[in-house]
Amino acid sequence: MHNTITGFSKLSKSEKIDWIVNTHFSNTEHAKNIIKQYWNSDSKLQQLHDEFIENTITNYYLPFGVAPNFLINGKTFTIPMAIEESSVVAAASKAAKFWFNRGGFKAEVVSTKKVGQVHFNYSGKPETLRQFFETVKPKLISETESITKSMEKRGGGILDIELRDKTKDLERYYQLHVHFETKDAMGANFINSCLEQFAITLKREAENSLEGDLNIIMSILSNYVPECVVRAEVSCSVEKLTGNKGISPKEFAEKFIQAVRIAEVEPYRAVTHNKGIMNGIDAVVLATGNDFRAVEAGVHAYASRQGSYSSLTHAEVDNGIFKFWMEIPLALGTVGGLTSLHPLVKLALQLLGNPSAKELMEIVAVAGLAQNFAALRSLTTTGIQEGHMKMHLMNILNQLEATPHEKEVITTHFKTHTVSHSAVVEAIKELRAKA
């Protein structure tokens, strides 16, 4: 192919851009201008961004918004959210406002264990391996002391190491299954460093004293953290569920609970239901410099833990009290990674009062629960499109290059009319024809 290249990573930033625009675009100047218009004028700040990943040519912007009035465990928060989808921040803010005068959100971290594994093959007898493991276990721990020292000072470290026989699933396959406590760090680098040292020690000791071949396959943390779990909930008497268009509080509670139960039993609905939860969660995870891909993977695995994919949230009415809650695995950090490097991440954490990792888990879980409440409230009353399309209206107007005056007139018009793409196009055509 004509547009392959060797040694691309060794080129300077401007050489990379020249190669990209000259080989991939017909209008080279236009492409180059788009790339350069997102550069930061502060060269130090731009260099910082350039060094986060490899082969950087520009910055990719996402809107950074805030959802105020979140009452969590008696404390008020303004939650930062980085997301491109219209109506997410509005929905979170609406849910926060709704629950503010109904006792707010309660959140609690249930557990904070994280997991890492050393995967290996062994050709000898399982009993021989078990005896060897018991002998070598103290060495595994002592030889990681230089790595664990500072984590232990903060109250973290290696909690336990377990040998797991997985030969029923895969021939000759075993693993060291290790639990860690990483305190305010997400802990990926810490966990992986410990695991790689375990692998070195295990292989060396096996060669010295174990019958049968032991071969290390890989050492890596797991993003499935079913023992690093936070619970978030809201509750109030059914009578207080007021303000839902054309529907009594009792009927609203019944419809809402049925909507949640449908997501508990129907995977096609559950995926969309949980995606709505993740709208809130990912936006805060991203704004606070955490790994939203790891969170997504772990959460969806957790949603399938009973053997079929199901809702993460649950709802009931008990003795006249409506309750809506969720338990969710979240491995988050407030130190390390981007948290001390990215200026907006630092700002986001300051906005939240510089929370501990546990507090951030609670805040993030609440954002997800709020998002799901807002979505279900819309779905079971007015329908999702009314609010969503009103938020989407501005995107359509921007696509049509509407002037400030046109935006004002059209926005006013659609306060009393149904928004659709064709209706907006028609309205702007009429307005321009009159002008």
Task: List the catalytic residues.
Answer: 85, 275, 291, 388
Integer CA distances (angstroms), 20 to 6, 29, 265, in order? 13, 12, 49
Q: Which amino acid is at 94?
A: K
Per DSSP, 74 falls in state T
Q: Alpha-carbon distance 386 to 85, whole Å?
A: 15
CB 259 within 8 Å of CB 359 = no
- Helix orientation angle between 404-413 and 421-434, rounded to the nearest 10 degrees: 120
Phi, psi torsion values for 253, nearest 5 degrees = -60, -45
Report strand pairing: 157-165 vs 75-82: unpaired
State phi, psi for 259 to the nearest 5 degrees. Answer: -60, -40
Q: How many CB atoms lie within 10 A of CB 129?
A: 21
Q: CA torsion 393→398→404→408, rounded to 10°?
A: -10
Number of Cβ atoms within 10 Å of the Cβ of 83: 19
d(CA 398, CA 386) in angstroms, rounded, equals 19
- Helix, strand, coil percentages in the chain from 3-state DSSP, rounded to 5: 50, 20, 30
Q: Is there a contact between 272 and 300 (Cβ–Cβ < 8 Å)?
A: no
List the beta bridge partners of residue 316: 323
Q: How far is CA 36 from the centre of its chain?
A: 29
